[in-house]
Amino acid sequence: MTDDPFCLFDTWFAEAKAAEPNDPDAMALATADAAGRPSVRMVLLKGHDARGFVFYTNLDSRKGEELVANPEAALLFHWKSLRRQVRVDGPVEPVTDAEADAYFATRSRDSRLGAWASDQSRLLDSRATFEARFDAMSDRFQGGDVPRPPRWSGFRVVPRQIEFWSDRAHRLHERRLFVRSGALESGNGGWTESMLYP
């Protein structure tokens, strides 16, 4: 047992990476627009530490626009093989340009070109149009580095609370809830742990 939710997450995440057959870093990301209309999709966790959980996207995508208009989000990790879930919610903040540049540089060249070619979440008249745009970007950057597009970056979900859910027989599940007791802005303070009825 631990009173630090990040240590517990590290343990569970390591076990998920060993047990899950596909994408243990996949998480559902829920956002809402300025009017409160919700939206959810799967994204990949690309970094986590005591500051929060990081993912990347096109800032002009639906999720990017929603996070600018309403900078709150919820995450859900579901590791079916382990019969576990982790829920996170809190405000979001943009990652630094240095963080975004460093992560973007780790992506495959084709993924970097795709970030330039895609108007993510916008209507597309045909697959051929997208492939032609990809080819144009390939020609544009031929023989050179593919820098991060100006409208591509990341967000960090700064947890206000983290819930760890474990499956138990007869639906008598275990739910541990950690709520931040310090100021989110400073990252100071600790966590208060409670149990929840299943």
- Whether 92 maps to a domain, the answer reads yes
- Whether 120 maps to a domain, the answer reads no
Where would I find the beta strands (DSSP E) of the chain?
26-32, 38-44, 47-49, 52-58, 72-79, 84-94, 152-157, 161-166, 174-180, 191-196
Per DSSP, the three-state class of 24 is coil
- Whether 164 maps to a domain, the answer reads yes
CATH number for the domain harbouring residue 76: 2.30.110.10
Range of the domain at 21: 5-109+150-196
pTM for this entry: 0.92
Per DSSP, the three-state class of 181 is coil
Torsion angle of the four alpha carbons 104, 105, 109, 111, in this order, in degrees rounded to the nearest 10 = -10
- Whether 186 maps to a domain, the answer reads yes
- Whether 127 maps to a domain, the answer reads no
- In the block, tokens 């993912």 appear at 55
Annotated catalytic residues are: 171
- Whether 61 maps to a domain, the answer reads yes
- Whether 89 maps to a domain, the answer reads yes
Each residue's pLDDT tens digit, 150-196: 999 999 999 999 999 999 988 899 999 999 987 665 555 689 999 99
How many domains are contained in the chain?
Answer: 1
Each residue's pLDDT tens digit, 103-142: 999 999 999 999 999 999 999 999 999 999 999 999 999 9
